[in-house]
Every structure is written in structure tokens, then in C-alpha cells.
């Protein structure tokens, strides 16, 4: 006798009601329990396979789990049942954007807008896809339409700022760029004093707050001499790894490591990444490098390694940015690829890499043609001292590009298809860092072309 017969027949399970499923799924989504939500919707679809809204909702859960290809399948099943579902079309467009199928994504968003009143969310989604495709003029127009419908749509304002920055429209971009301070993208800071507007502040105490990454601080550091010349006492919050580089330059009376208690006696406060918006209405107003000074005290510890190059070209390499940056995989490459391209006669390579990607050096044979300076690099003052003694740095996009550019040292930046806005579009030079040279792909994922172009230029430089 089986268990069912032993205890009597079981009551038939009540059918799943889609309305109840949607309520429970929404609660799970709000709680961040996307896996549980996806399982709930999958079970509901077993009973209601022709419910377009259930397919759509499951796609949303799958997208939240990062399973964008699976989400596409759900959205397409939903559209087979509900061809005029504009919400489904825009969700499909979002998933395709994540999969880098950008022409299809744009078409889906345009279909969603045509089927609806084209509200701010749909315009924003279209703008994101256009921006990822490098069509930033059209993207900015889409974000503007979203803001016309909802002026408080902070994310659209931020994304419009980025598109305008890609286009080099600094005067138009900076006001939108400030939305990051109220949009939730940055933690709210309780800083004393009024917000500074860039005017003279004689006899007063100004506090500048750190934000974003190392590269952002190094980029904004070009303004610090000008800020100090405008008035009284200056206190600067900064990432601790940068303080040994910046503090000896005499740019402020006091430096505070990031996340240490802030002074409570400031009359005024501002943010480091707001400085360009106060003083650079156009590219012509960008303060030129060099504005960073390599500390001479650290030079000596690198000299024995630098001397090994003899008459060869001394080239530093960095193959990855911070691994915690969510899009680092789009810009990072492997050490082996750098060696294949740049280990050539007339060149001595030096590894400047820090962080987990340093481990790639351990896999190389001891005879590999590279000298690892990583163990000597404890902060950015060390890195600046090393870079100042090299002829060239070749790297993927990360903070040391700002360091080398700020020092006025030659730096070749190898860019992916979607690069940071600071590198603008299509150009091989850059107004922020005149010593930089940019190498770009012909299309998505075309790193072979990037390395090939840089390698042939290095060959000519090392062997004139």
C-alpha cells in the first residue's frame, strides 16, 4: 500500500490564480528574492501557459537575476500572445541592450513608444539603448523627452549628462551632472556649511568631499590650485591611497582620509567632481597638465629596476582596472595579450598592475620579458614615481591613465567599444590629457585591432 492510500486520498490542489501570483511576485521582487519570484511564476505558467503577463513578469525576474537571454525568450513568448503589449516590448529592448543586440533593442523601444503614449520610462529606455550604441545625440534627445514629461526623473537627467559629456557639450552637461548628489547614486553626506558656488571665500573654511573612484579624484585634482587661490582655509577629503601623492603638493591645509569624521567647522562645502562644472564651461577652459608632481623621495627604490632597461624603451603596462567595477570585464584584457603585442626588441616592459589581476604574473615563466614593479607600489605616490621614470605607459582604461595624464607623461589607452565619457567619441587624442593617445576598436569586441594598431606604433617608436 502506498502512502496516499494509507492516509486516504489527498485533496486536489487549488488552482493558481494569476492575480494572487502577481501580488506575491511583486513582494518577492521588492524584497530582492528574484529566484523565488522566478520559481513562483514558472509554476504559475505551467497552469496558465497562455498568460502573456505571467511570461512578461517571469522575464523581469530573469533579467533581475542577470539571465538576460532567458528573459528574451519569456518576453517573446509574451509578445506572441499580446503583440500590442508596449511594456513587454520595452522590457525586451532592455534585455537586448544587455546582450549588446543594440539595433534590435532600439527597434523594440521605438515599437513600445509607438504603441503607447511614449511616457518618460519608455523614452529613457530608448535613450539608454541609443547611448550604448554610441548614438549620443539621439540619446540626449530621448532623455530630454523623458525629462519634459517628468522633470524629477533623476536617472534620465544623469544619463543625459553622460551623453552630453560624450559629445563634449560641457556647458550643457554639468548642470545635469550635479543630479548625482540627490539621485541616490551617492550616499548623502552631512557636511557643515553652505554649498559652495565657486566664488571667492577669503577668511572662510571650505571642505571638498571625495566621491567616486581614484580616477575621478585625479581628474578633478587639476582644479585644486585654483580653488586654493580663491580664498581661505581648505580641507580636502580624499582616498587614503592618494593622500601621499597629493598632500606634499601644498594644495590644502588639511587632508582627511575618506570615511574619517568630517570637520564640523566648515563654512562652505563642495564635491571634487563638481569642480569641472564650476570652472570648465568648454574644452578651451580645461586646465592643462602637468598638474601632479611625482614625489622625488620614492624615485630611488625604482632606479635599480629602471636601469636594467639600458637603452631600451621603458614601457609600463596595466591590463585591468578595479575588479569591483561592474563593467571592468568590458575594458580589461589579459597580461598574456599585452606580452604578445608589446614584448618586442628595443622594449623593456614593466608591470604596474595592482589588485587580483597581479596573479597573472605568477603564471609566467621566470624568463618572461617583464619586470614586476607591483611589490614596490604601495600607494599612488609610488606609482607616480615609477611612471615618471618610464618613457611610456600602455594600459586599458583605469585610474593610472589619469595619473600619467596628470603628470604629462605619454600614455596609450586601449579602449573597448563603449569607453568612459571622458575619452569622447572616435578621437585618438583627448583635451583633458594631451599626452594621451587613444586606440579604439572598429566594432564591438574588436580587441585584435586595438592591440595590432598599438603594437605597430610601439615597434616604430622602439626601432626608429
Average pLDDT over residues 159-170: 98
Q: Is 202 helix (H, G, I), strand (E, B) or coil?
A: strand
DSSP state of 230: T
Residue predicted with more confidence, 326 or 380: 380
DSSP classification of residue 359? G
Q: Is residue 120 a contact partner of residue 156, using CB atoms and an 8 Å limit?
A: yes
Q: Please say if the pLDDT value at position 10 is more than 70.
A: no
| Residue whose C-alpha cell reads 564640523 in the numeric block | 264
**Per-residue model confidence (pLDDT) at position 322:** 87
User: How far is 173 from 167, CA to CA, in rounded Å?
Assistant: 9
Lowest-confidence range among 8-17, 321-330, 354-363?
8-17
Question: What pLDDT was estimated at residue 324?
Answer: 86
The answer to whether 386 touches 315, Cβ cutoff 8 Å, is no
Average confidence score pLDDT of the chain: 94
Beta-strand runs (E) in 143-182: none
Looking at the DSSP bridge assignments, the partners of residue 237 are 256
pLDDT of residue 3: 43
- Please tell me the distance from the alpha carbon of residue 333 to that of residue 318, in angstroms, as a whole number: 9
Task: Report d(CA 447, CA 440) in Å as an integer.
Answer: 8
What the chain holds in terms of domains, given with CATH numbers, is 18-181 (1.25.40.10), 194-285 (3.40.50), 296-462 (3.40.50.2000)
Calculate mean pLDDT across residues 2-17: 53
Q: Mean of the pLDDT values across residues 175-189?
A: 90
Q: What average pLDDT does the segment 146-162 reach?
A: 97
Question: What DSSP string describes 7-51?
Answer: H-PPPPPPPPPHHHHHHHHHHHHHTT-HHHHHHHHHHHHHH-TT-
Q: What is the pLDDT of residue 12?
A: 53
Pairing relation of β-strands 268-271 and 194-195? parallel
Closest Cα partner for 27 from 37, 16, 17? 37
CA distances from 387 to 112, 294, 401, 437 (A): 51, 8, 10, 16
Looking at residue 318, the DSSP 8-state letter turns out to be E
pLDDT of residue 1: 37
Identify the residue whose cell numbers are 580645461: 286
- Name which of 172, 216, 167 is nearest 424 in CA terms: 167
Supply the pLDDT for residue 15: 66
Percent of the chain with pLDDT over 70: 97
The DSSP annotation for 246-308 comes to: HGGGT--SEEEETTSPPPS--SEEEEGGGHHHHH-SSGGGPPPSP-----GGGHHHHHHHHHT
Q: Worst-scoring range by mean pLDDT, 80-89, 292-301, 382-391? A: 292-301
Amino acid at each position: 500500500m502506498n502512502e496516499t492510500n494509507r492516509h486516504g486520498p489527498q485533496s486536489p490542489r487549488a488552482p493558481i490564480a494569476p492575480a494572487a501570483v502577481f501580488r506575491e511576485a511583486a513582494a518577492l521582487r521588492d524584497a530582492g528574492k528574484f529566484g523565488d519570484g522566478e520559481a513562483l511564476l514558472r509554476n504559475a505558467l505551467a497552469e496558465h501557459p497562455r498568460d502573456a503577463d505571467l511570461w512578461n513578469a517571469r522575464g523581469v525576474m530573469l533579467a533581475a537575476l542577470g539571465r538576460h537571454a532567458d528573459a528574451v525568450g519569456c518576453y517573446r513568448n509574451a509578445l506572441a500572445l499580446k503583440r500590442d503589449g508596449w511594456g513587454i516590448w520595452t522590457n525586451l529592448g532592455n534585455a537586448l541592450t544587455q546582450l549588446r543586440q543594440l539595433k534590435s533593442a532600439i527597434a523594440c523601444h521605438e515599437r513600445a513608444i509607438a504603441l503607447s503614449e511614449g511616457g518618460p520610462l519608455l523614452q529613457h529606455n530608448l535613450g539608454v539603448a541609443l547611448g550604448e550604441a554610441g548614438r549620443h545625440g539621439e540619446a540626449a534627445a530621448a532623455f530630454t523627452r523623458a525629462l519634459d514629461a517628468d522633470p524629477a526623473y533623476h536617472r534620465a537627467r544623469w544619463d543625459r549628462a553622460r551623453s552630453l559629456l560624450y559629445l563634449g557639450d560641457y556647458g550643457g552637461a554639468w548642470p545635469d551632472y550635479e543630479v548625482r548628489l540627490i539621485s541616490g547614486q551617492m550616499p548623502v553626506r552631512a557636511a557643515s556649511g553652505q554649498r559652495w558656488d565657486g566664488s571667492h571665500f577669503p577668511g572662510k573654511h571650505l571642505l571638498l568631499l571625495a566621491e567616486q573612484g581614484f580616477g575621478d579624484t585625479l581628474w578633478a585634482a587639476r582644479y585644486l590650485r585654483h580653488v586654493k587661490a580663491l580664498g581661505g582655509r581648505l580641507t580636502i577629503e580624499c582616498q587614503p591611497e592618494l593622500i601621499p601623492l597629493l598632500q606634499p603638493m601644498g594644495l590644502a591645509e588639511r587632508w582627511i582620509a575618506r570615511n574619517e569624521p568630517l570637520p564640523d567647522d566648515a563654512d562652505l562645502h563642495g564635491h571634487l567632481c563638481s569642480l569641472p562644472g564650476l570652472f570648465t564651461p568648454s574644452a578651451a577652459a580645461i586646465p592643462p597638465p602637468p598638474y601632479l608632481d611625482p614625489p622625488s623621495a620614492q624615485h630611488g627604490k625604482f632606479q635599480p629596476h629602471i636601469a636594467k632597461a639600458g637603452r631600451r624603451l621603458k614601457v609600463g603596462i596595466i591590463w585591468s582596472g578595479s575588479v569591483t567595477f561592474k563593467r571592468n570585464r568590458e575594458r580589461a584584457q589579459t597580461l598574456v595579450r599585452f606580452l604578445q603585442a608589446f614584448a618586442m626588441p628595443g622594449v623593456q616592459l614593466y608591470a604596474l598592475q595592482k589588485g587580483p589581476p597581479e596573479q597573472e604574473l605568477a603564471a609566467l615563466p621566470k624568463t618572461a620579458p617583464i619586470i614586476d614593479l607591483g611589490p614596490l607600489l604601495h600607494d599612488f605616490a609610488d606609482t607616480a614615481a615609477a611612471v615618471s621614470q618610464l618613457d611610456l605607459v600602455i594600459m586599458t582604461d583605469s585610474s593610472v591613465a589619469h595619473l600619467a595624464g596628470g603628470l604629462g607623461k605619454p600614455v596609450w589607452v586601449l579602449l573597448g567599444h563603449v569607453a568612459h565619457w571622458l575619452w569622447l567619441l572616435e578621437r585618438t587624442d583627448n583635451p583633458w590629457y594631451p599626452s594621451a593617445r587613444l586606440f579604439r576598436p572598429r566594432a564591438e569586441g574588436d580587441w585584435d585591432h586595438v592591440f595590432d594598431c598599438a603594437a605597430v606604433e610601439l615597434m616604430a617608436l622602439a626601432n626608429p
